[in-house]
Structure 1
Amino acid sequence: MTDENSITGAYVEAGKEFTRDTRYVSTRITADGRDGYPVEPGRYRLVVARACPWANRAIIVRRLLGLEDVLSMGVCGPTHDQRSWTFDLDPGGVDPVLKIPRLQDAYFARIPDYPRGITVPAIVDIPTGQVVTNNYPQLTLDLSTEWKQYHREGAPDLYPEALRPEIDEVAELVFKDVNNGVYRCGFAGTQESYEAAYDRLFARLDWLTHRLATQRFLVGDTITEADVRLFTTLVRFDAVYHGHFKCNRSKLTEMHVLWDYARDLFQTPGFGDTIDFAQIKEHYYVVHSDVNPTQIIPKGPDLANWPEPHGREALGGSPFGDGTPPHPPKPDEVVPADHWVFGGSPA
């Protein structure tokens, strides 16, 4: 099995379809500490890379819930070598809290013979320096539920109990056909597996178009975990998936319902202000060298239209319901404006 975050250095197996390794370190951080890791402010560090869509989910959820002062965040650079994601954005190439140069150090501290990819997002126990979990689907759900005591006032309920079955159902379809579907296109090792993945991807995008044509958000009248999971793929679609992964039936900007929906979320505090298009493009076009042997990073697409009006307020609902938007990002977590939307920040 292959994982998009893998450190093998190769992403396409000739003659085979892409299969994601979904075996993760499944330990959970919970309010009651039943796995040995209770929720404690300041104890853990969320390690991410802004380039990675799976890590981007955790960045968004942490920010929407206002957990910045409870759960610190370490940010890896956009590229990695065959060994690990690295902290090359930090002075001396060392994470200032964990005091390690490579995320693999935290994995090996807990599991010395860890056999799989060194993936982000990961949560590390600061006192021991050991990775606790890299199970990204459960990680964000736990931030919404197990960390509830530490949510900011006015934080949204991203996983409301009454809507969980529908959120889970929609999220699973989105994962299989869209989140992972773009990788099944891009890392396909046969023409047949590529075309099958392509057809599934765009069939699901058509299904999502129909669903979102009459409702502002995927499930219910406010943003939920389902929207976070779809957004991180849509926001990367034209910048990398359309060309780099050959998902080229239509650009996002040509799928008008999804384009309006994506801009609606992008302009919502906590979504667009986490996006670093420069790092996203550098990661995909440089790291996936078997897909892009020249490692040339394209100049396009033009990103200046992300702040344009979307008009989806007319469908009703509101992003935060009775709650409030998050505060602006912490100064040391602000994405440079020229990495976010060329020409400035969303209004």
Structure 2
Amino acid sequence: MTEQPTPNDQSTTTIPRTRLGELDVPRMGLGCMGMTTAYGRGNPDGGTATIRHALDRGANLLDTADIYASGSNEELVGRAIAGRRDDAVIATKCGITTLPVIGLPIGVNGHPSYLRRGAEASLKRLGTDVIDLYYLHRIDPNVPIEESVGAMAELVKRGLVREIGLSEVGPADLRTAHATHPIAAIEMEWSIVSRELEDEVVPVARELGIGIVGYSPISRGMLSGDAAGMNPGLLDFRRLLPRWQRTNREHNARLVDAVRAIAARHRATPAQVALAWVLVKGEDVIPIPGTSKPHRLDENLGAFDIELTPEDTAILDGLTAAGERYGRTGGA
């Protein structure tokens, strides 16, 4: 395995801007989940520093959810932006239910009363009087999407939410939801190895003028090239996911080697190449890589300086991971 290059100081990188509904947002945001949960022991101090650094850099779309660490992730975001609320664009989510205390996802709930209570609780944890972008975290098959979105529309009318989004949505539900109330954004997993949304969901979103926020654009760290990306620790939930099972890991390690080879040609890191691939999918696409380290945030923003060649893109487009995105754990 060749040693990956150390990224140069990316402090001069200019971050392009785009819009999600009426929100002015950067073309790359910050996923906050891993600061408190999921990938082993959290790093709240590092997360706080990273959020504040993101605000300084203009990567100010901060993505969280009410289920992350049973709400403490929202609390972390709220503390980190204290005194700087106007500098941040806060996105949070509601609609997945969890086991008390341990916080494992167990189902979905799209009932209007649940979403209203969820928004009010999130506002309190975030220490703000308005959520900029409020997502339905998952579609509840037992509740008509019109009812869930209608309840979220009421939150907009009350001034508690600015824009509405949907996470992991299909094309039919997206059309129905948008007819109920304008949808500003969909949040979908999108990376070199997670491309299920491209054939049907992306065309509908673009037809309707809906922005696309891509979570896990480095495939939960797999495409970073770091050892931990392929060999998660004992408390890391990736150990439960099919792509990190022993039967799939050898194949996926070879896939990462292909990304690493392209990165070496660009004097970049594999993570930067993975993000550059997502960024070229369109000006309406906003990847939200997660990190709790300010220098990793700078590294990620360096993806804007990479120009992939047609040959690079062809190689990356041809990569296919072994294993499904999720197993019995569902998704976050």
TM-score by length of 1: 0.31
| Bigger strand fraction | 2
TM-score by length of 2: 0.32
